[in-house]
A and B are shown apart, each in its own frame.
Chain A
Amino acid sequence: MKSSVKMAKLTSLFVISLSFFCISEAVFEDQVGKFDWRQQYVGKTLFAHFESNTQSSKKMFVATDKNIFASFNSRTGDLLWRHVDKTGPEGSIDILLLHGQDALMVVGDGRLLRSWDTNIGGLNWEAVLDTGSFQAACFVAIQDTVKLVAVLKKAALSLHYLSNGHQKWVENLPDSDAVQYQAVYSGGEEEVYVLGVVPNSHLTIIAYSLEDGEIIKQRSVEASWLSSVESSCVVVGQGVLMCVDPATLALYTLPIQAEETPEFSQILLQSLDLEVSPGFQPVLVSSQPHPARSPLSEFFLQLGPDHHVLLQLNADGYTIAPLRDFQPAFLVSFATTGKKTVAAVMTPKNETACAINLFSVDSGRRLLDTTVLFPLELNGGKPHALYVHAFLKKDDSVGYRVLVQTQDHALTFIQQPGRVVWTREEALADVVTMEMVDLPLTGTQAELEGEFGKKADGLFPMVLKRLSSQVTLLQAWLAHLWKLFYEARKPRGQVKNEVTIETLSRDEFNLQKMMVMVTASGKLFGIDSKSGSILWKHYLENVQPNAAFKLIVQRTTAHFPHPPQCTLLIKDKDTGLATLHVFNPIFGRKSHIALPALPRPILQSLLLPVIDQDYAKVLLLVDDQYKVTAFPSTKNVLQQLQEMASSIFFYLIRSDQGNLSGFRLRKDLSTERIWEVVLPTEVQKIVAVKGKRPNEHVHSQGRVMGDRSVLYKYLNPNLLAVVTESTDTHPERAFVGVFLVDGVTGRIIHEAVQRKARGPVHFVHSENWVVYEYWNTKSRRNEFSVLELFEGTELYNSTVFSSLDRPHLPQVLQQTYIFPSPITTMEATLTEKGITSRHLLVGLPSGAILSLPKMFLDPRRPEVVTEHSREENLIPYAPEMPIRTEWFINYNQTVARVKGIYTAPSGLESTCLVVAYGLDIYQTRVYPSKQFDVLKDDYDYVLISSVLFALFFATMISKRLAQVKLLNRAWR
């Protein structure tokens, strides 16, 4: 007990000394969700299944390219549960099979077999599979009940019990070096069939006994035209393999179970009066409604991008009857409910909608009253996949709901008779970059602004204009009053503040902004930052999957009547060729500005503070011949550029050559190379370069020290932080290099090496400091290091900063701390004027976002506390950085796989808007120095006003009394 008391005292001393400086920022319970919101996403759907085929079922299951298995409520589109697996190939989902309450999943290219309980999303069991790449899997039924699952790997076939995942047997496949085994089939018999192919030679069929895995039959069939079973063959009817050959334009059938040596029988498509679109690879689609029974004998053959045919294999097993021709038809899908199987076909209806109809599979007849309309958005993706949930209605007719996946990864759920129940924009699971744009002023405010903006044209018109704008203001005020009065009569719950694109306007403190998000799929979103509702979306087709994006705000909303303008630079990573997409960030509409031709790969883009006559900032694009293209490139701009060419500098970094070089613009928009720094790639490679944010303000030029002298900050706006990693990865010799380079002169301001360290390095560069985080290979821990630059106690030139005239190197202070967690991303808070103290927002792998006061990362934290350091409010140095749970700004709203954090200033100096994106999107506000400029919610207006009034009356009365007294005295 004694020792614990002592310990407590020691630690409490420490805690007290710390807590003096930092402000607790936890959210109160009633504030949850008031200023913040979170949206959860899953990514691009690869597999989707509906729970059971009853009308009342609500669940659906998806597996996605982000390695996520999730369940949605099909009535609302909300997530019921979600399992986020490892990123990369290790967690990739190879297949998702659903049977009853069990969802079977093969994960990580055949590494694991998992079974999930679909009711609650719990894991039933998990089995580690033998090595080998995954090929196929299917359910296997014994005597009409599904008890097993068969997994086909490159060289082995294994059977697992559905109940507990135990392996029934595993057999090596014969001759697996030569034969590519690609499919496994079970039709409810005593055997399971494996189909393999030797490309352009023959097909191998092996039948295994379910009981013990013994090979019952093994046959090879001549098939010189066949290259892949997977892509060109399906099983239809009573175990008949149906293949399509694009070269001979023929269908081939082969009974799998046949006893004698079989042969493919050929049916020419011509004989069925079918024609394949030129250059199109025909695709077969079949359906096996129940694993215990053989597949349907009806199947689809896709002959062109919008041409499908429903065919039926006759009972004899080698003749085919066409049932119905669908042209045009984008998508087809089978759906089964009870004993009935239907085919859903999506056909284009008009410009704005597609129609989905159900057809009877047996006859190809259209079912009545089954038309559902799918609305096509103007700037949306084309339909990509169709998932149909069919069910039997009370009158035994077939009803259905349909999930349509479009190319932009959006999921739309539609119910009969054509009502869109919900839409999920899954492209938002992969946000690449974003910007926050101020909302426009309201109409009346804008009018006033416009009045001041216009040039004077005589006294009388101006008076008239003023009067008219005053009248409109009065009108708006009256309307506002009326609305207040009208809404006050209504009960509280009914008053809804629906945000629509028409009602968008800036609020008093500019806390509500438009979030423009760019996703990897090429879809752009405009999201209201207050509510999180998507206000506009725009899908850019023809965006390569590996494209790099850069979003630039060329004109803000401040230049009424010119609309705000954003430019998205899309660069193909392979060719380097770039395209521009210019749009209005508030409405998402593409602007019709003439775009410059960019025939050459673009190396660098830079936004100049120069503005053209329409108040758009000028964007310079540097191509691989170091020629510069300006956008917009009006005469005015070119003239301005010529005038200031000699003061426009830019840098290029070629990390593959370790080369940093600087250029200066010439009058003819060509460039000259003026400096060059080369970091030998044999020693270290450049991993990241960051400048400072152009919209950052620094309020105080220096820091007042304990002895009342001022330590001036080195505030170089052109400073670049270059981070390198050593090529030598040995833990003793690995290092991380940090270079501070002036982007104009190429001068290396500081060069530091963190020994025994390696990446991934995350860093923030702001004001006069750089904070970076790395992995210490020797101590095996994450560490934070902070670099601060100071000019000293005297400023060289206090009026203006010029990189060309700053001969003295700054003083560099650095300190390092241990951080008890790995991190995934880091950003610093940003406020309007830079008065508020800064915090670092650190995204942790756990999904928490930590708001770490910059005060803790201060290289002047003293080892030994002195009078001066106490005066300065410096926290005594402690090697370990604390993580306090009340610093988590997202309390329990974890953001899965945080990829980036975006910060934007608001109109209130104390408030910084934060958006964290990754798999989820989380928006909140942070107050790094508390809300010093905001009155509290529970501020007592009544008390303060009553005191004021009381004082006022007291003075009045006492004045009167004093007057009377004076008068009386004078009379005396």
Chain B
Amino acid sequence: MASVPRSFLLLSIIPTILILCADFACCNTGRKTGDGLDTDFSGFSVPLEHSFQVDDVSRFRMRGALQLRGGRETSVSLSQSQLSEEDRNTLKEVAAVDGLYKIRVPRVSLTDRQTERQMDGYLTAFVRACSLVESHLSDVITLHTDVSGYLIGVSIVTIPGACRGTEVEDEVDLEAFNTTLTIIAPTNAPQPETALFIERMDIEHEKRGKPQEQKSFFAKYWYLILGGAIFLMASSSAQPSAGGAEEQQS
């Protein structure tokens, strides 16, 4: 990661590299300092908490730990324990009253570890408890970051997502989470594609332009001009009348 400032330098000096590094350089805009980046490689962990109560009052408890790795290629992994017997029962009860299953993660920055302490508050998301139960705890958790690597949102969905009211008999199905975890950074919106368009225009231009260019006006219509000239000459020589002479004078 120490190469970041250097790449900026390069960018300003050699514009041609810009295309190659554009994506990479963009990822780092908004970063305040280069220090503290070394810790990124080791990653850090934040708690993932969940809450499910029959009375829908949020009481968050530990679900697992998210292992975040910031930097060039952000990655995330989750280590979580199984649900206890008591939890399983509660979850089923919550599902029965169409309660919510909520999760939360603290607001952190993946790149700038200095500011982590300053930020307070959590990012919260929810899913219907019944759909979690019916999907046998298979959920997809997505973390969203902004341009400068702050976590801005979390979302949870289950697959399948519907509540059909099917009973989950087997207790084993509700023991362990089958979680798919992804982290999504903002995509870059496209710019107007002028270069490609001009290129295409040029190709079209060449395609259509070439045969016309080879044949000039005279090359194309030489026989007409020649014929016309001969006709004119013939008509003027055939009738060397006074009218013709006058015309020449004027």
A878 contacts chain B at the CB level, 8 A cutoff: yes
The CA-CA distance from A685 to B216 in the complex, in Å, is: 61
The CA-CA distance from A783 to B191 in the complex, in Å, is: 9
- Which residues from chain B contact A797 at a C-beta distance below 8 Å? 162
Residue of B nearest to A674 (CB): B126
If A676-B124, A683-B146, A805-B162 are given as contacts, then 10 extra A-B residue pairs at C-beta distance below 8 Å, sorted by A number, are A677-B153, A684-B146, A737-B146, A737-B186, A746-B126, A746-B155, A748-B142, A805-B131, A878-B197, A880-B192
- Which residues from chain A contact B104 at a C-beta distance below 8 Å? 676
Asked whether, in the complex, the Cβ of B186 is within 8 Å of the Cβ of A753, the reply is yes
- Which residues from chain B contact A731 at a C-beta distance below 8 Å? none
Cβ proximity bits A757-790 to B, threshold 8 Å, 1 near / 0 not: 0000000000000000000100000010100000
The CA-CA distance from A745 to B102 in the complex, in Å, is: 11
The CA-CA distance from A460 to B110 in the complex, in Å, is: 79
Residues on A facing B (Cβ under 8 Å): 2, 6, 9-10, 13, 646, 664, 666, 672-680, 683-684, 726, 728, 733, 735, 737-738, 741, 745-748, 750-755, 776, 783, 785, 797, 804-807, 812, 814-818, 863-864, 877-880
Q: Kindly specify which of B71-79, B204-212, B238-246 makes contact with the partner chain.
A: B204-212
The CA-CA distance from A672 to B56 in the complex, in Å, is: 8
- Which residues from chain B contact A816 at a C-beta distance below 8 Å? 189-193
Asked whether, in the complex, the Cβ of A674 is within 8 Å of the Cβ of B100, the reply is yes
Given contact pairs A9-B208, A863-B193, A879-B192, A678 touches B152 in the complex (Cβ within 8 A):
yes
Most buried by B among A679, A753, A797, A878: A753
Query: Closest CB-CB distance, A725 to chain B, in whole Å?
Result: 12
The CA-CA distance from A812 to B187 in the complex, in Å, is: 11
The CA-CA distance from A684 to B217 in the complex, in Å, is: 62
- Which residues from chain A contact B205 at a C-beta distance below 8 Å? 10
B98 contacts chain A at the CB level, 8 A cutoff: yes
Asked whether, in the complex, the Cβ of B189 is within 8 Å of the Cβ of A748, the reply is no
B125 contacts chain A at the CB level, 8 A cutoff: yes
Asked whether, in the complex, the Cβ of A814 is within 8 Å of the Cβ of B146, the reply is no
Given contact pairs A751-B186, A753-B186, A807-B157, A745 touches B125 in the complex (Cβ within 8 A):
yes
Given contact pairs A680-B119, A748-B155, A864 touches B200 in the complex (Cβ within 8 A):
yes
The CA-CA distance from A817 to B190 in the complex, in Å, is: 9
The CA-CA distance from A735 to B125 in the complex, in Å, is: 27
Number of residue pairs A-B, CB distance < 8 angstroms: 154
Query: Closest CB-CB distance, B57 to chain A, in whole Å?
Result: 8
Residue of B nearest to A666 (CB): B56
Which positions 40-79 of chain B face chain A at CB distance < 8 Å? 56-58
Asked whether, in the complex, the Cβ of B131 is within 8 Å of the Cβ of A735, the reply is no
Asked whether, in the complex, the Cβ of A6 is within 8 Å of the Cβ of B209, the reply is yes
Selected contact of A678 from candidates B29, B123, B128, B131, CB within 8 Å: B123
| 21 CB < 8 A contacts A-B | A2-B216, A674-B102, A674-B124, A675-B126, A676-B104, A678-B152, A678-B153, A680-B152, A728-B30, A737-B186, A746-B124, A751-B186, A783-B191, A797-B162, A805-B162, A805-B163, A807-B160, A816-B193, A863-B200, A879-B193, A879-B194
B15 contacts chain A at the CB level, 8 A cutoff: no
The CA-CA distance from A406 to B159 in the complex, in Å, is: 64
The CA-CA distance from A613 to B147 in the complex, in Å, is: 50
Which positions 151-191 of chain B face chain A at CB distance < 8 Å? 152-153, 155, 157-163, 184-191
Closest 9 CB pairs of A and B: A747-B155, A677-B153, A805-B161, A879-B192, A807-B157, A751-B186, A807-B161, A754-B189, A676-B124
Asked whether, in the complex, the Cβ of A877 is within 8 Å of the Cβ of B197, the reply is yes
Size bracket, chain B contacts: 35 or more
Query: Closest CB-CB distance, A865 to chain B, in whole Å?
Result: 10
Asked whether, in the complex, the Cβ of A675 is within 8 Å of the Cβ of B125, the reply is yes
Most buried by A among B126, B160, B217: B126
B7 contacts chain A at the CB level, 8 A cutoff: no
Residue of B nearest to A785 (CB): B189
- Which residues from chain A contact B36 at a C-beta distance below 8 Å? none
The CA-CA distance from A843 to B58 in the complex, in Å, is: 48
Selected contact of A804 from candidates B56, B107, B128, CB within 8 Å: B128
Selected contact of A680 from candidates B124, B150, B197, B217, CB within 8 Å: B150
- Which residues from chain A contact B126 at a C-beta distance below 8 Å? 674-675, 745-746
The CA-CA distance from A944 to B119 in the complex, in Å, is: 77
- Which residues from chain A contact B194 at a C-beta distance below 8 Å? 818, 879
The CA-CA distance from A807 to B197 in the complex, in Å, is: 37
Query: Closest CB-CB distance, B104 to chain A, in whole Å?
Result: 8
Query: Closest CB-CB distance, A727 to chain B, in whole Å?
Result: 9
Selected contact of A683 from candidates B123, B124, B147, CB within 8 Å: B147
- Which residues from chain B contact A785 at a C-beta distance below 8 Å? 189-190
Asked whether, in the complex, the Cβ of B122 is within 8 Å of the Cβ of A818, the reply is no
Given contact pairs A673-B124, A677-B153, A683-B146, A6 touches B212 in the complex (Cβ within 8 A):
yes
Asked whether, in the complex, the Cβ of B186 is within 8 Å of the Cβ of A752, the reply is yes
Asked whether, in the complex, the Cβ of A755 is within 8 Å of the Cβ of B124, the reply is no
- Which residues from chain B contact A676 at a C-beta distance below 8 Å? 104, 121-124
Query: Closest CB-CB distance, A454 to chain B, in whole Å?
Result: 39
Asked whether, in the complex, the Cβ of A804 is within 8 Å of the Cβ of B197, the reply is no
Most buried by B among A674, A678, A741, A806: A678
- Which residues from chain A contact B189 at a C-beta distance below 8 Å? 738, 752-755, 785, 814, 816
- Which residues from chain A contact B161 at a C-beta distance below 8 Å? 804-807
Most buried by A among B121, B142, B189: B189
- Which residues from chain B contact A678 at a C-beta distance below 8 Å? 107, 121, 123, 152-153
Residue of A nearest to B196 (CB): A863
Residue of A nearest to B185 (CB): A751
Most buried by A among B142, B186, B196: B186
B26 contacts chain A at the CB level, 8 A cutoff: yes
Asked whether, in the complex, the Cβ of A747 is within 8 Å of the Cβ of B157, the reply is yes
The CA-CA distance from A2 to B214 in the complex, in Å, is: 12
Selected contact of A746 from candidates B125, B148, B185, B208, CB within 8 Å: B125
- Which residues from chain B contact A2 at a C-beta distance below 8 Å? 216-217
Query: Closest CB-CB distance, A360 to chain B, in whole Å?
Result: 73
- Which residues from chain A contact B29 at a C-beta distance below 8 Å? 733
B113 contacts chain A at the CB level, 8 A cutoff: no
B88 contacts chain A at the CB level, 8 A cutoff: no
Residue of A nearest to B190 (CB): A816
Query: Closest CB-CB distance, B140 to chain A, in whole Å?
Result: 7
The CA-CA distance from A879 to B204 in the complex, in Å, is: 16
- Which residues from chain B contact A877 at a C-beta distance below 8 Å? 193, 197
Most buried by A among B29, B150, B196, B209: B29
- Which residues from chain B contact A684 at a C-beta distance below 8 Å? 146-147
Given contact pairs A646-B98, A745-B155, A679 touches B208 in the complex (Cβ within 8 A):
no
The CA-CA distance from A733 to B191 in the complex, in Å, is: 15
Query: Closest CB-CB distance, A920 to chain B, in whole Å?
Result: 33
Selected contact of B197 from candidates A10, A646, A879, CB within 8 Å: A879
Asked whether, in the complex, the Cβ of B140 is within 8 Å of the Cβ of A679, the reply is no
Residue of B nearest to A772 (CB): B189
Asked whether, in the complex, the Cβ of A807 is within 8 Å of the Cβ of B159, the reply is yes
Asked whether, in the complex, the Cβ of B125 is within 8 Å of the Cβ of A755, the reply is no
Selected contact of B192 from candidates A673, A680, A817, CB within 8 Å: A817
Asked whether, in the complex, the Cβ of B184 is within 8 Å of the Cβ of A751, the reply is yes
Given contact pairs A804-B128, A817-B192, A863-B200, A755 touches B162 in the complex (Cβ within 8 A):
no
The CA-CA distance from A585 to B216 in the complex, in Å, is: 73
The CA-CA distance from A407 to B73 in the complex, in Å, is: 63
Asked whether, in the complex, the Cβ of B26 is within 8 Å of the Cβ of A755, the reply is yes
- Which residues from chain B contact A751 at a C-beta distance below 8 Å? 144, 146, 184-187
The CA-CA distance from A673 to B57 in the complex, in Å, is: 10
Cβ proximity bits B105-145 to A, threshold 8 Å, 1 near / 0 not: 00100000000000101111111100100000000101010
Residue of A nearest to B203 (CB): A864
The CA-CA distance from A741 to B157 in the complex, in Å, is: 14
Query: Closest CB-CB distance, B181 to chain A, in whole Å?
Result: 15
Residue of A nearest to B152 (CB): A679
The CA-CA distance from A157 to B80 in the complex, in Å, is: 79
Asked whether, in the complex, the Cβ of B98 is within 8 Å of the Cβ of A683, the reply is no
The CA-CA distance from A666 to B122 in the complex, in Å, is: 22
- Which residues from chain B contact A675 at a C-beta distance below 8 Å? 124-126
- Which residues from chain A contact B209 at a C-beta distance below 8 Å? 6
Residue of A nearest to B29 (CB): A733
